[in-house]
Structure formats: structure tokens, C-alpha cells
Chain A
Amino acid sequence: MLNNMMVGQFFAADSIIHKLDPRIKLLLTFVYTLLMFFIESMFIFTFNILAIIMVYKLARVPLKILIKSIKRMLPILLISAGINIFLIQGETVFKFLGINITKQGLCMVSTMIVRIICLISGMLLLLYTTSPAELVAAIEKILKPLKIFKVSPEEIAIMFSIALHFVPVLLLEAERIMNAQRARGAKFDSKHLKEKLKAYITIVIPLLISTSNRANDLAIAMESRCYHGGENRTRFKILHYSAYDLYALLISLLYVLLLLIFNKLDFFKIVM
């Protein structure tokens, strides 16, 4: 089963983190994301990574899954790092292809990579430990105020759940179409930008058609299963806060304060 796991899919386990109310988890993930943008020191990031590993252990989600997901995003990370590293001015450390690599550049890029890894790990933890139905129920509750503007939070929540389910399906589909077009001579790996662009356009149209067919099928399937709009539905998951949620809030609050204080104190900022 692990092999087939897609990036960011719910991982069922019996853990405290799974039991937390999804609203709390959404809130904490949001705060955590903000926090990561305030932190600059490599030392604190390292500390944060240790904390994340602990929380993953607590959630009984194997780190293997996380590492696999991060590996998949590595190419994008490295490309953006590669671009950045050449652009930053400062003290030259060494030369590469005739371009100066600076101390500041290295420093900035390594911080950026670690920050993104921290961000991804946090968001994935939310997805691993919260089932779609819980997530949907939480989003619905949070969006309740939108009712004033005649926007249906139930419908947005269902749309979100469907999107979450179909993203991996469509990714696989894109890959399939890409292979089919490659067999017909599309040059995805071409060095010429124009050829490359042309090749990618050949995926777009088949993908749009197949997506629209899928949407059509899904609409019929939903209707067959008595879907009649977002109103008047009961829920498979009912949300209620427990004492754990309070502990989680308190511990997280302490953690945020701790990191912010560390971040203020200069002596933790190691000099590279």
C-alpha cells in the first residue's frame, strides 16, 4: 500500500494527532506556516525539523512517506535554488562556470530549501492525519460566515473534497498522455524552448477533454447517489473538541513563543 501512496494522501492510524479536531489542525497548520516565514536562523530550522520528526512519530505516520513526497518535489526545489544561487551578490567563495558563488548566496539558498522542506512537512502532516471528510467538515464550519453572501459552504467543501481526490487521478492521466504523445514524437526533453513548449501543448488538449469527460461521469454518478445540492445533508464525521485539542493549542503556543524568542536572540544565529 505504501508504494501506491500519492503525495499528501490520508494515512489512517490510531494516534493523538489523528484524533485532534480538524479545525484545530487547520488553524495550527496556518500558524505554523506563518511562523516559518519569520524564522531566519539555520539553527532554529534544525530544531524545528527535530520537532517535526517527533510529531510524525506521535502521529504514527512513517517518515518514509514524508521523505518520498519531499523527494518528488526535490527537482523543483533544486532548480529554483540553482537560479537563486547565481543571482546573489557578496563575498565570493568559489567560481562556477565563470560565475561567482557568494557566501550570502549559499546562505540564502540553504535557508530557502530548509524553509520549504519545513513548510511541506507541516502541510503534509495535516493531510496525512486528517481524512477528507474531516477536512471538508472543518472547512465547512470555517466558511459558515460566507452564508451571508449566499455562498454555500457545503458546496465549496464538497468541491474541495473532489479536487483533493482528483488531483492524483489527473496527474496520472497527464503522465499517461505525456507517454502517448512522446510515442508520437513529442519532444518533452528538447533543448529548444519552442519545441519543448509545443510538446507540452499536446498534453493540454487531451487532458482538458478527458477531464471534462470525467467531470461528466462524476456528475452522473453523484446524482445517482442522491446528491441534490449541499443543503440538507447529514454527516459521516461529526466534529467535537476534546481535551487533547486544548493541550495541542497550549503546546503549540509555547512552541511558537519559544521559536520567536530564539529567533530574536542573536547568539543562536550561527555564522556561516
Chain B
Amino acid sequence: MIKIENLDCMYKTSNNQMVQALKGINLTINPGEFVAIIGANGSGKSTLAKHMNGIMLPKEGDVFVFGKNTKEEQNNLFIKKSVGMVFQNPDNQFVTSVVEEDIAFALENLEIPFDEMHERVRMALECVGMYEYKDASIESLSGGQKQKIAIAGAIVMQPKFLVFDEPTSMLDPQSREEICSLLKRLNETMNIGIIFITQFMEEVALAKRVIVMNDGKIVKDISPGCLFEDIDFLESMKLKAPQITYFCLELNKLGENINPGILDLKECADELAAALKGNKL
């Protein structure tokens, strides 16, 4: 469980002004949850994420990971190990150029013995479907493959939570989809709690819970379906709903009765087909 209480965060900018990036955040994330965090640029998403595994320590407020305060030095490794992180630019996350050796990095730091280390690296690679690339040079991989290696590098720690800070924003659509289904699988089969920061509204639909941030505050904590129905709210936050929601709303304007909270393409098609049949009868 990640518990954040009254968290404030200030940055000092280069011209000595203070920017308040987080304002009184209260948030609890339970094990196994899949949470999306959205918000306009500069709304404080990355700053919040960096507090979740103790990369940034709160000056005001507290962050607890399974009851352990991130401020206390002796909890450091436990917290880093429990909450893994994957970042936007895959190129900046690797410490070496051979796939399996990079994945082993966290285990080396955690003083895992040789045999167990090799076993866990193998399992992590199999989990992301990249075992055949274990000897490959990271440079030779595509962006999506690199991101999978970065994910393997985090799950090798056997974390309870994984925080993703816009992991798909530099990828092509196909790789993006692959990463998304990987996240879903990690959440469903391994029960890893996922905190997923994204700018792609279609991806938000993966989550069961969405947190909307604006100007350093959490302004909504809701399910994706309910969130997208309120287009005016989204647009006031400089966000947009997925295409499918706009489509359903347009249909509703035309007098069809389609639930605008639908996010699944197939479900939408089914309802539409049913409605069309109803018209014919």
C-alpha cells in the first residue's frame, strides 16, 4: 500500500523563484490496483511519481510504502525494491549495453547471490517476452523492445508496485499497444499494482481508477467510464476524452441511446448494432 498524506512540494527555479508543484496531496493506492494519472503538462504528475519510491523526499507531508516512511534512511532499499519505476525515454535508463547484464543491475545492488540472480533475470526476460534477446546489444533494439527491457529491469526486483511515467510517449502505435497489454498482464497475472502516467486517453481505459491532476492538486479520483462522460470537465483541464466517447456523445445527440461511458470498441459496436436493429424493427 502506498499512502501519501498532505504532501507539498516546492521547486526552486533557475531565477530563484519558488514553484509549488504539489499542493496538499492525499492519496492511497492499494496493492494490485491499476491507477492512471492524467493531467496537463506541468500539473505535477512526475513530481508525484518521484515521491512514491523515495527518489524525492517530502519536506511537507509524508509518504508511506507498506507503512514505512520514505523519509527514514533505513527504509530506502525496501521502498525502492517494493516500488519500481519505468521512465519515458528508454535510452536513459540503461547502465550497460547487453540486455541480461542490464537487467541484473538491480539484483547486483540488492546483493542477490549468483544462481538466484541468473534465475530471476531469466524469469524477468521471459515475463516480458524478450528472452531470446538476452545477449543482444541494447542499441540494436527498437524503442518498444527497449522499454520492455526497462520493464524487465524493474520487475526483476519483484516489486509490489510499478510506476510508469509516460512509458509509451516515445513509441510507435504498435509498440504502445504491446506495452499496454504487457502492463495489463503484469497487473492481472502477477498482481503488481500499476501507477500509470499517460497523455493517451485510450490508455487510461486500461485502469480501474483515474486520478486527474491540475496545478499540483488532485482534482478527481474516479473510474475512467465516469470521467469521460464529463467532457466539459476534461476540457477545462486541457484534456480530451477518447474518440470513442465523442462518437457515442454525437450518437446520443442524434437521438440514439448509447451509454457514453463505454470505452471498449467491441462493446460500442455491439450496442450500436443492437440500436440499429431496433430501428429497423
**A83 interfacial by beta-carbon distance below 8 Å:** no
Measured in the bound complex, the distance between the Cα atoms of B162 and A224 in whole Å is: 11
**A243 interfacial by beta-carbon distance below 8 Å:** no
Other-chain residue from B81, B117, B137, B154 in contact with A10 (beta carbon distance below 8 A): B137
Measured in the bound complex, the distance between the Cα atoms of B259 and A260 in whole Å is: 86
**In angstroms, how far is the closest chain A Cβ from the Cβ of B61?**
21
Q: Are A132 and B80 in contact (CB under 8 A)?
A: no
Q: Name the prevailing secondary structure of the B interface residues.
A: helix
Query: Given A228-B76, A234-B112, A165 and B95 touching (CB < 8 A)?
Result: yes
Other-chain residue from B109, B114, B154 in contact with A227 (beta carbon distance below 8 A): B109
Other-chain residue from B81, B101, B135 in contact with A236 (beta carbon distance below 8 A): B101
Other-chain residue from A164, A213, A224 in contact with B97 (beta carbon distance below 8 A): A164
Residues of chain A with a CB closer than 8 A to B121's CB: 236
Interface centre among B85, B94, B109, B118 (most CB of A within 10 A): B109
Measured in the bound complex, the distance between the Cα atoms of B94 and A168 in whole Å is: 13
Measured in the bound complex, the distance between the Cα atoms of B104 and A39 in whole Å is: 43
Measured in the bound complex, the distance between the Cα atoms of B139 and A5 in whole Å is: 8
Q: Are B153 and A225 in contact (CB under 8 A)?
A: yes
**In angstroms, how far is the closest chain A Cβ from the Cβ of B208?**
25
Residues of chain A with a CB closer than 8 A to B112's CB: 234
Measured in the bound complex, the distance between the Cα atoms of B81 and A73 in whole Å is: 44
**B157 interfacial by beta-carbon distance below 8 Å:** yes
Measured in the bound complex, the distance between the Cα atoms of B139 and A168 in whole Å is: 8
Other-chain residue from A9, A224, A237 in contact with B137 (beta carbon distance below 8 A): A9
Q: Are B140 and A221 in contact (CB under 8 A)?
A: no
Q: Are A236 and B118 in contact (CB under 8 A)?
A: yes
Query: Given A165-B138, A217-B87, A234-B114, A226 and B106 touching (CB < 8 A)?
Result: yes
Q: Which of A21-50 contact B (CB under 8 A)?
A: none
**A184 interfacial by beta-carbon distance below 8 Å:** no
Q: Which of B88-117 contact A (CB under 8 A)?
A: 89, 91-98, 100-101, 104-114, 117
Q: Are A222 and B95 in contact (CB under 8 A)?
A: yes
Q: Which of B60-95 contact A (CB under 8 A)?
A: 76-77, 80-81, 84-85, 87, 89, 91-95
Q: Which of B109-142 contact A (CB under 8 A)?
A: 109-114, 117-118, 121, 135-140
Residues of chain B with a CB closer than 8 A to A221's CB: 85, 87, 92-93
**B185 interfacial by beta-carbon distance below 8 Å:** no
Residues of chain B with a CB closer than 8 A to A238's CB: 114
What residues make up the interface of A, taking CB atoms closer than 8 Å to B? 1, 4-6, 9-10, 12, 131-133, 136, 158, 161-162, 164-165, 168-169, 213-214, 217-218, 220-228, 232-238
**20 A-B pairs whose Cβ atoms sit less than 8 Å apart in the complex:** A1-B136, A6-B139, A132-B98, A133-B96, A162-B96, A165-B138, A168-B97, A217-B92, A218-B92, A221-B87, A222-B105, A223-B55, A224-B53, A224-B84, A226-B157, A228-B77, A234-B114, A236-B100, A236-B101, A236-B114
> 7 nearest interchain CB pairs?
A12-B135, A217-B92, A236-B104, A225-B106, A226-B109, A4-B140, A133-B101
